[in-house]
Amino acid sequence: MRRLKYIYITLTFLLISISVFSQEKVNKIYILFDIESKREFSYENGSGNTETTKVFVKEKKNNGKVDFYIEKQLLKFYNKRKELDTICFNNFEDLKFSNIKELRRVVDKKNPLYPYKVFNNIFLVEKLSEDKFLQYSVRWENYIE
């Protein structure tokens, strides 16, 4: 009986240790997506000419997917669930937003072909009203025109 108790305690301790050490700290990246922004940026179109487009572009697809472009960077939302997460203004102030240019520098150094492998936990936050925001879990794709 005593030996059985020792084995039980040892196994319990081992399982708890494995569980604690196997959990990775997942860093969430939040990017503010301002669809109403009038800001534009210029880019070279591949033929030596410069073109201008809006910084924030949103394209809804028929299959429920949504493509977001921030300065020509493609972030895809795959609607696996039928509902989106909403954020109230109180929670909004707690979020630390990242800049796409800073994230792109990191991606260009680490893995420019597969940005989602560098940052695999990205959330776009879109403003609905003064106190309500939508949160999309997106995947950063390599976008080639």
CA 118, 119, 120, 122: dihedral to nearest 10 degrees? -170
Q: Which residue has the tokens 């604690």?
A: 20
Residue with tokens 């403003």: 127
Question: Which residues partner with 42 through β-bridges?
Answer: 52
**Residue 112 DSSP one-character state:** T
* Tokens of residue 68, six digits: 């977001």
pLDDT at 24: 41
Predicted confidence pLDDT, tens digits, the chain (145 residues): 666 555 545 544 444 444 434 334 468 899 999 988 999 989 888 888 999 999 999 999 888 789 999 998 999 998 776 567 777 767 667 788 999 999 999 999 999 889 999 999 999 999 888 778 888 999 999 765 5
- Hey, where are the domains in the chain? 25-141
Where do we find the tokens 């300065």? 71
